[in-house]
């Protein structure tokens, strides 16, 4: 990142969020899934009413893609390695199964957040406390509290709403560092003929991840700063009041990388995830869904997801399934 994230005059996260709302203890002292608790059986049954045509869309980017995987700078894309294939039998090294069966096998090496993924609620923190007030020392050697396994055990099902910010602004993709607010989310929804309701899963398109595949890597990652939501006390309070359980975007970090007002890096990870328990889903592929929504004008749907059950994991790959 550039020097703007290291200015000694920038406020600390403690200072920036000193009056921010928290949901700690709202669902008991042992809670590890936060605002996903808003997705009650009653909410889920009501959400199923968003299904109109039965059209299905999956939202994961391709993993171990020869074209590259969009990942946070410093992480590497997934690598798939074949360990057994027909070549083993051609070389006389294949196992001799009764009946003559041959098979292929491979393994995958990847960062747990190296694809479309859910962050664990314990992934990011400040002031020595993670979600629900658990001590940050519980992260040493793996997340003993608020790991992604808790989200995976629960699963995520609710009414999703696509907010196509890029199309609303007349662009294929937002600019580097371009920001938007909760007021923009509501205005975008209104322009689409929809309304954000309490407990909605927000699915926000910027066009950024799609641009990864058409932009030279050096240019995409240069002085890395993504478009996205930008911090304000009003935005955080709106998320709290709307009881938003899950924010899904087609960016790597769900928010503008450096807040342009405070100069703080990724404050919404702390304000939303650490303090409110809002789950964050990043690197979503939204192009096919967005094109269909623009065509049929249906921007709400049943959203379902379950990340991999990685014990003590800071995150996990996921392939969300949307049903319109």
8 domain-assigned: no
Neighbours of 20 (CB within 10 A): 19
Shared domain check, 88 and 219: no
5-34: average pLDDT: 90
**Helix residue ranges, H only, the chain:** 13-16, 41-47, 86-90, 148-154, 165-168, 182-191, 208-212, 217-221, 233-242, 267-268, 275-276, 287-296
Q: Which pLDDT tens digit goes with each residue over 165-197?
A: 999 999 999 999 999 999 999 999 999 999 999
pTM score over 0.75: yes
pLDDT of residue 10: 79
Range of the domain at 93: 79-108
pLDDT of residue 5: 45
**Is the domain of 172 the same as that of 252?**
yes
- With respect to residue 254, please indicate whether it lies within any of the assigned structural domains: yes
Is the same domain home to 55 and 201?
Answer: yes
- Determine the pLDDT at residue 29: 98
d(CA 286, CA 161): 12
Residues 217, 98 within the same domain: no
Which residue, 177, 150, 180, is CA-closest to 37? Answer: 150
The reply to whether 143 and 32 lie within a common domain is yes
- 214 and 251 share one domain: yes
* 303 neighbors 157 (Cβ within 8 angstroms): yes
Query: Whole-angstrom Cα distance, residue 74 to residue 253?
Result: 14
| Cβ neighbours of residue 93 closer than 8 Å, sequence gap 6 or more | none
Q: Please state the domain count of the chain.
A: 2
- Higher-confidence residue: 8 or 130? 130
* pLDDT of 299: 98
Q: Which residues contact 190 (CB under 8 A, 6 or more apart)?
A: none
Residue 40 reports pLDDT greater than 90? yes
User: Using 50, 70 and 90 to split pLDDT, how confident is the model at 14?
Assistant: very high
DSSP state of 279: E
Secondary structure letter of residue 270 according to DSSP: I
180 and 256 in a single domain? The answer is: yes
- Residue 107: is its pLDDT beyond 70? yes
Residue-level pLDDT at 6: 52
Q: Is residue 149 part of a domain?
A: yes
pLDDT band at 7 (very low <50, low <70, confident <90, very high): low
Tell whether the model's pLDDT for residue 90 goes beyond 80.
Answer: yes
pLDDT tens, residue by residue, 59-83: 999 999 999 999 999 999 999 999 9
> Do 96 and 209 belong together in one domain?
no
């Amino acid at each position: 990142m550039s020097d703007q994230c290291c200015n000694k005059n920038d406020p600390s996260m403690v200072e920036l969020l000193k009056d921010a709302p928290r949901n700690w203890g709202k669902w008991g002292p042992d809670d590890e899934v936060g605002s996903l608790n808003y997705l009650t059986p009653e909410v889920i049954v009501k959400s199923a009413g968003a299904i109109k045509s039965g059209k299905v869309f999956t939202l994961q980017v391709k993993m171990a893609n020869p074209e590259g995987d969009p990942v946070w700078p410093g992480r590497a894309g997934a690598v798939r390695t074949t360990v057994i294939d027909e070549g083993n039998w051609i070389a006389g090294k294949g196992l001799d199964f009764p009946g003559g069966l041959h098979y292929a096998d491979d393994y995958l090496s990847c960062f747990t957040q190296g694809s479309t993924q859910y962050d664990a609620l314990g992934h990011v923190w400040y002031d020595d406390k993670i979600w629900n007030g658990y001590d940050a020392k519980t992260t040493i050697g793996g997340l003993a509290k608020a790991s992604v396994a808790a989200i995976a055990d629960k699963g995520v099902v609710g009414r999703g709403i696509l907010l196509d910010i890029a199309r609303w602004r007349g662009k294929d993709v937002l600019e580097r560092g371009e920001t938007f607010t909760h007021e923009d989310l509501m205005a975008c929804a209104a322009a689409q003929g929809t309304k954000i309701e309490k407990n909605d899963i927000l699915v926000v398109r910027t066009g950024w991840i799609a641009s990864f595949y058409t932009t030279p890597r050096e240019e995409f990652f240069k002085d890395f700063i993504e478009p996205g939501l930008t911090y304000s006390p009003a935005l955080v309070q709106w998320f709290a009041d709307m009881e938003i359980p899950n924010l899904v975007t087609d960016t790597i970090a769900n928010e503008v990388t450096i807040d342009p007002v405070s100069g703080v890096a990724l404050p919404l990870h702390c304000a939303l995830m650490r303090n409110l328990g809002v789950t964050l889903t990043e690197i979503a592929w939204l192009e096919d869904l967005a094109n269909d929504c623009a065509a049929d004008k249906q921007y709400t749907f049943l959203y379902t997801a379950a990340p991999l059950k990685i014990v003590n994991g800071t995150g996990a790959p996921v392939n969300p399934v949307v049903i319109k």
